[in-house]
Structure 1
Amino acid sequence: MPHAPLDLLLLPTWLVPVEPAGVVLHEHGLGIRGGRIALIAPRAEALQHAALQVLELPGRLLTPGLINAHGHAAMTLFRGLADDLPLNIWLEQHIWPAEAKWVNEQFVQDGTELAIAEQLKGGISCFSDMYFFPEMACELVHKSGIRAQISIPVLDFPIPGARDASEALRKGLGLFDDLRHHPRLSVAFGPHAPYTVSDDKLENIRVLAEELDAGIHMHVHETAFEVQQSLEQHGERPLARLARLGLLGPRFQAVHMTQIDDEDLALLVTSNSSVIHCPESNLKLASGFCPVDRLWQAGVNVAIGTDGAASNNDLDLLGETRTAALLAKAVAGSAMALNAHSALRMATLNGARALGLDQQIGSLELGKAADLTVFDLNGLAQQPVYDPVSQLLYAGGRACTEHVWVGGKQLLDGGQLTRLDEQRIIANARAWGAKIAGK
């Protein structure tokens, strides 16, 4: 039987599949059918296939959708609230009091919607979120069409939406059951950090994660102080403590990891845990430098995240990836460390692998979900184009983002959101800003 027509045939000047690594396909077509990638072929061959819609993309680069592997979406409403402060002062004297005063379900709804809109406009098709009222974030993800991992926040003290860790886990399990078969949503456990979650709660999370085959998303080794505090209180480094408790493994997503010694590296390698690098937040808070090239050379899966806009101050994953590439070179003392193609892999396939989604997304391969981003490289500042990936990373920016599809559904068309009302979202954010600032 002949194949049904393609739903959509994209014809970009350049197509970067990410897998295999380092490949740029010139004048190829990509076909979508039923929300999945059904064809990748040279242009002439691709045009022989019937398609309901054909989109010519001259001077454009087609890549997998970008994956923001760590953030706190609703905190976008705290963007710029407490800048240029050390992490402990920023958290304890500004962010935590603001959260206690302002965070409720409406805050999470409006802040998450703002974050989703910003991310889509920057080429992000999937994000990982860890914040309060996770059920509200799930609703926004479902409605907007984006893909996400939502982590259930767990701390030893009361948080908005949960009186204690036990209640947070109960609600999280209910959410996990409700969304078990959702095509775009996965639920993970989000113990905040080693210094805010006790051993018994961590062991409970380990058991649940094993039973449900769920991810564990956690801030780890964010600062030197955190490591020193753990040595004083537990007689071991935080990562060693987590290893002793059985949390490390392919499901474990270690966010930040700015402090890594030889023993830490060995634990990451042997456990096959992923590291999620957030360079701009770490730089802004002076938290330290994740040794990305060293991790990469050792075979550790390193993904990339923006962190929350309260500490970044944007959700620009393309900019984050550029910073990661430049910083990796400086930290390693080598201009060859983390080249542009490897950096793009961090922002796509490595992110998918960290979130346990690499069989579905992260690269342009037949059968995978059609999560795609198109970048326009026709601009003055992108000329001439020798390597489109280098040009995107080092001379482009999120303003080059033109189209985004998730599961074959177009969520950004010519830079315009197709499902979200941008002006209403801006108005809501301004209203929150005036309220929080006391104006």
Structure 2
Amino acid sequence: MTATAAPLDLLLLPTWLVPVEPAGVVLKEHGLGIRDGRIAFIGPRAAALKLSANEVRELPGMLLSPGLINAHGHAAMSLFRGLADDLPLMTWLEKHIWPAEAKWVDEAFVRDGTDLAIAEQLKGGITCFSDMYFYPKVASDCVHNSGMRAQIAIPILDFPIPGASTPDEAIRQGVELFGDLKHHPRIKITFGPHAAYTVCDDNLEKIRVIAEELDAAIHMHVHETAFEVQQAVEQTGERPLARLGRLGLLGPRFQAVHMTQISEDDLALLVESNTSIIHCPESNLKLASGFCPVERLWQAGVNVAIGTDGAASNNDLDLLGETRTAAMLAKAVAGSATALDAHRALRMATLNGARAMGLESEIGSLEVGKAADIVAFDLSGLAQQPIYDPVSQLIYATGRDCVKHLWVAGKQLLDDRQLTRMDEQQLTATAIAWGQRISGHSE
């Protein structure tokens, strides 16, 4: 069926259109047509106006890009935002976060926290996110109801966690959820062993076997801090990444989150296995965890995506801001002003995230046939003028408050900064009530 066979559901006419693929391209005065939730047309404005469309939206001063992809986070932890700031990772986890989780996390917490995170992310231009947290079925229900797209990683640790008293129970729940949702158009289930220091070889082997059988991805914190790597070497004589390689976990379906410590051997292993890395610069900076050498990885051909991590360690779910930080940090770490330019930074926040999740044929770029996951950024404001390169202005001079409209699979979830399916006032009131309970100011 050609693009003109039936009327378009929606024709968007922005000032700029950045497809991300092909790389480095900015299309001026072009239109994008959507039909049945997919991109059906991209072409010059004059050609677009000749097409029949049920709705036409003029978007002057706006840049249309693929929806941003937040490739790592813990959505429900938005309810712990600011709870235990300015502490090193292990102190933060062991003394504050883990005890708070043991006390407060239940299905209601996960539902309310995930809804809060979804709303924040939609308002920030994110159309797809990866979530790794307890009660994953509850989180998947939230995603389903919201219209958003997500990868849900089933959390697996060697000790009891909220919602699963043993690792075997967590794996079993994961397999069941994978089966239930394998045909869901917007939700992908993956397995999320927490980290090398919280999951033993036997459980990692089980996860590897099941992930291979189901062709499912594995999403895991790896080399988050120098201490983690040093402790592993002292205890076992082996770096965590090397251990994962020996156990057969690394590969194109493996998502290594953080990777602030990368030796020459680590780099060789990443390249050889075609493993993706999820870079979370602001969480790593805030927890003083180290610096992921993004430019070195990029030049070696490693796929690097970007994530915010949870709001308890960031403290926001602002992927546009995260991408700006990533671009700045990459330059400082590489000692080169040409490292991670604006166009590559945007690619990292879109198509690279899709590739890490195995969704690159579906989302991550604006191409005919792909799902219509699209965001419109308003660059007409004072702070964006004058515009020489709209992608540079987007990355270096624009905040998430410039996100104007957003569509997932052709459905508009943000219209002129307003959420179309969620009640922002209700979400805010619910979050405030949780904060009062957790801080002990109410019963």
Does the alignment reach a TM-score above 0.5?
A: yes
Does structure 1 residue 287 correspond to structure 2 residue 289?
A: yes
CA distance in 1, matches of 2:357, 2:406: 20
Alignment-derived partner of residue 193 in structure 2: 191
Q: Deviations over 1:180-215 (max 9, x none)?
A: 100000000000000000000000000011110101
Alignment-derived partner of residue 120 in structure 1: 122
Does structure 1 residue 354 correspond to structure 2 residue 353?
A: no
CA distance in 2, matches of 1:24, 1:175: 40
Partner-residue secondary structure (3-state), 2:116: helix
CA distance in 2, matches of 1:230, 1:378: 51
CA distance in 2, matches of 1:233, 1:391: 48
Alignment-derived partner of residue 84 in structure 2: 82
* 5+ long unaligned stretches in structure 2: none
Alignment-derived partner of residue 104 in structure 1: 106
Does structure 1 residue 228 correspond to structure 2 residue 242?
A: no
Q: CA deviation at 1:229?
A: 1.1
Q: CA deviation at 1:223?
A: 0.3
Structure 2 counterpart of 1:50, from 52, 56, 62: 52
Q: Which amino acid aligns with 2:94?
A: E
CA distance in 1, matches of 2:183, 2:236: 40
Partner-residue secondary structure (3-state), 1:142: helix
CA distance in 1, matches of 2:293, 2:320: 19
Q: Which amino acid aligns with 1:10?
A: L
Task: Tell me which moved more, 103-112 or 2-11.
Answer: 2-11
Structure 2 counterpart of 1:160, from 156, 159, 162: 162
Scaled by the length of structure 1, what TM-score is found? 1.00
Alignment-derived partner of residue 22 in structure 1: 24
Q: Deviations over 1:337-359 (max 9, x none)?
A: 00000000000000000011000
Q: CA deviation at 1:235?
A: 1.2
Q: Which amino acid aligns with 1:437?
A: S
Does structure 1 residue 432 correspond to structure 2 residue 408?
A: no
CA distance in 2, matches of 1:95, 1:285: 13
Partner-residue secondary structure (3-state), 1:92: helix
Partner-residue secondary structure (3-state), 2:73: coil
CA distance in 1, matches of 2:214, 2:174: 12
CA distance in 2, matches of 1:308, 1:182: 25
Structure 2 counterpart of 1:328, from 308, 321, 330: 330
Alignment-derived partner of residue 149 in structure 2: 147
Alignment-derived partner of residue 420 in structure 2: 418
CA distance in 1, matches of 2:269, 2:134: 30
Percent identity of paired positions between Structure 1 and Structure 2 = 78
Q: CA deviation at 1:232?
A: 1.6
Alignment-derived partner of residue 213 in structure 2: 211
Alignment-derived partner of residue 410 in structure 2: 408
* Match runs of 1:243-258 below 5 Å: 243-258=245-260
Alignment-derived partner of residue 265 in structure 1: 267
CA distance in 1, matches of 2:235, 2:135: 31
Q: Which amino acid aligns with 2:174?
A: G
CA distance in 2, matches of 1:90, 1:62: 39
Does structure 1 residue 379 correspond to structure 2 residue 381?
A: yes
CA distance in 2, matches of 1:70, 1:32: 28
CA distance in 2, matches of 1:164, 1:246: 23
Q: Deviations over 1:244-270 (max 9, x none)?
A: 000000000000000001000000000
CA distance in 1, matches of 2:103, 2:427: 22
CA distance in 2, matches of 1:308, 1:96: 14
Partner-residue secondary structure (3-state), 1:187: strand
Q: Which amino acid aligns with 2:46?
A: A
CA distance in 1, matches of 2:258, 2:126: 20
Q: CA deviation at 1:407?
A: 0.3
CA distance in 2, matches of 1:403, 1:261: 42
* Match runs of 1:290-309 below 5 Å: 290-309=292-311
CA distance in 2, matches of 1:26, 1:132: 44
Scaled by the length of structure 2, what TM-score is found? 0.99
Counting matched residue pairs gives: 439
* Match runs of 1:365-376 below 5 Å: 365-376=367-378
Does structure 1 residue 60 correspond to structure 2 residue 62?
A: yes
CA distance in 2, matches of 1:227, 1:23: 40
Alignment-derived partner of residue 392 in structure 1: 394
Q: Which amino acid aligns with 1:300?
A: V
Partner-residue secondary structure (3-state), 1:405: strand
CA distance in 2, matches of 1:134, 1:421: 23
Q: Which amino acid aligns with 2:274?
A: N
Partner-residue secondary structure (3-state), 2:87: coil
Does structure 1 residue 94 correspond to structure 2 residue 88?
A: no
Partner-residue secondary structure (3-state), 1:419: coil
Q: Which amino acid aligns with 2:364?
A: G
Stretches of 4+ aligned residues off by more than 3 angstroms: none
Partner-residue secondary structure (3-state), 2:140: helix
CA distance in 1, matches of 2:352, 2:395: 17
CA distance in 2, matches of 1:215, 1:63: 26
Partner-residue secondary structure (3-state), 1:217: strand
Q: Which amino acid aligns with 1:41?
A: G
